[in-house]
Amino acid sequence: MKTKIQTLKGFRDFLPATMRVRNYCLNTFKQVFESFGFEPLETPTLEYASTLTGKYGTEANKLIYTFTDKGGRKVGLRYDLTVPTSKVLAMYQNKIPLPFKRYQIQPVWRADKPQKGRYREFIQSDFDCFGSTSPTTDAEIIAITYYCLKNIGFKQFKININSRQILDSLLNLAGITSNKDSILQSLDKITKIGQDAVISELISKNITKAKAENILKLIKLAKPDQNLSQVLESVSSFGVPKDFFSFDPTLVRGLDYYTGTIFETTVTKPKIGSISGGGRFDNLISTLGGPNIPAVGSSLGLDRIVDCIIDQNLLPNLTQSSTQVLVSLFNQDLIDKSIKITTQLIDCGINTFLYPTPDKLSKQFKFASDKKIPYVVIIGPDEIKNNTITLKNMSTGLQQNLKQKALLDLFKNLI
């Protein structure tokens, strides 16, 4: 009996059509990051488990993939990119000038329950600034989020902004001075499970019903403090239209390491949850044994963003194939001629697919059509006799005979 071939639940294979969308997004993100002076960074897939655990909160810690490796070491797969980068700052503190702006695009893993928009392996596109406490830095991170989404075609989204300092003040006002992280984790679920369910969860954590209801009431009445007001004002100064961001006192974000401004981006359609999120985490590096370096950053959820693009057809004009021309193979005797024109096209910067075996031209045309390759080059006995090359436009069916230089010039003008 043959073993059924399948992909692990929560993991995915990406075929070329999806990869083109993913690569388009990643290239756009990199351009925006670097336009703001951010530099690339990568960290290992595996870290010591002690580096990862105890940094995210009780619920998140349960989702970290940890195991003992063959050397008997307790290790774990990256849960996010923020903690590994903070480890880098702690280790290389004397070699990295501050402020340090970095972006990092790598896969992370979470032992989560798979559902739409939630996977066990996914790409994070992180961008953070280390070494500044300025509200302007918080605003810059929010502005970068806006420009990344705008530049890939998103027209309707909202960046919701709040502050952990405001939430902490509200908890103090409600008479809650202990177990705050656990309380905030419950409050983080307001938009997910509703107010009544959150109140029930708070009661299970020994908060009276009256106090739980008062917390929610205080949150709804909250206003930006002086620091957050400066952040919001600076976001506008970065050119972000006010329709795209707003103060949201119900926003909590569940991770324990946040210390100040927090933010998430949501879309109306499809119902997919947040597509980016981040905030200020001024104490994380010191908890990893490094110096006290303030930091703020965010992460763009590539997988959810791509799901939105496909669902809403946000990139209708995205080229369906990265290959611009297929060079046909007429017969065995003309292989060298086909190889030569292929290399010349490639040297000119043209993405070229050389058909690997001599076959009927009709079959090669069909292959080009199926692959959405817009042009086919034909070199047959007639072309050799006349010292020309035939170019077929697959969308119009038009064929034209060109000299080799004219063919190369034509494609140079297309790129």
pLDDT in tens, 361-404: 999 999 999 998 999 999 999 999 999 999 999 999 999 999 88
**Are the CB atoms for 26 and 307 separated by under 8 Å?**
no
Residues 289, 363: one domain?
no
Q: Which two tokens stand for residue 345?
A: 């096209």
Query: Going by C-beta distance under 8 Å and a sequence separation of 6 or more, which residues neighbour residue 135?
Result: 227, 228, 230, 231, 234, 261
Q: What is the pLDDT of residues 98-136, one digit of tens each?
A: 999 999 999 999 998 888 778 899 999 999 999 999 999
Query: Going by C-beta distance under 8 Å and a sequence separation of 6 or more, which residues neighbour residue 260?
Result: 138, 163, 164, 165, 227, 279, 280, 282, 296
Structural domain containing residue 369: 325-414
What integer pLDDT is reported at residue 217 of this predicted model?
83
Residues 191, 93: one domain?
yes
Structural domain ending residue among the three candidates 267, 288, 312: 312
**Are the CB atoms for 103 and 35 separated by under 8 Å?**
no
Q: What is the pLDDT of residues 272-283, one digit of tens each?
A: 878 999 999 999
Mean pLDDT of the chain: 90
Task: Assign 221 a pLDDT band (cuts: 50, 70, 90).
Answer: confident
User: Is 1 a domain residue?
Assistant: no
Q: What is the pLDDT of residues 310-332, one digit of tens each?
A: 888 888 877 777 899 999 999 99
> Looking at residues 191-215, what average pLDDT do you find?
81
Provide the percentage of residues in the chain whose pLDDT is more than 70: 99
254 compared with 182, residue with greater pLDDT: 182
Q: Which two tokens stand for residue 237?
A: 């100064």
* pTM (2 d.p.): 0.84
pLDDT at 414 over 70: no
Residues 89, 122: one domain?
yes
Q: What is the pLDDT of residues 64-107, one digit of tens each?
A: 999 999 999 999 999 999 889 989 988 888 899 999 999 999 99
User: Is 7 a domain residue?
Assistant: no
178 compared with 234, residue with greater pLDDT: 234
Three-class secondary structure of residue 326 per DSSP: strand
* Phi and psi, residue 265, nearest 5°: -115, 130
* Phi and psi, residue 154, nearest 5°: -70, 130
- For residue 323, how many other CB atoms are within 10 A of its CB? 18
Task: Assign 415 a pLDDT band (cuts: 50, 70, 90).
Answer: low
What integer pLDDT is reported at residue 101 of this predicted model?
97
Residues 365, 299: one domain?
no
Report the range of poorest mean pLDDT among 176-185, 311-320, 400-409.
176-185
Residues 169, 25: one domain?
yes
Domain total of the chain: 2
> Looking at residues 175-181, what average pLDDT do you find?
76
Q: What is the CATH number of the domain that holds 408?
A: 3.40.50.800
Provide the percentage of residues in the chain whose pLDDT is more than 90: 60
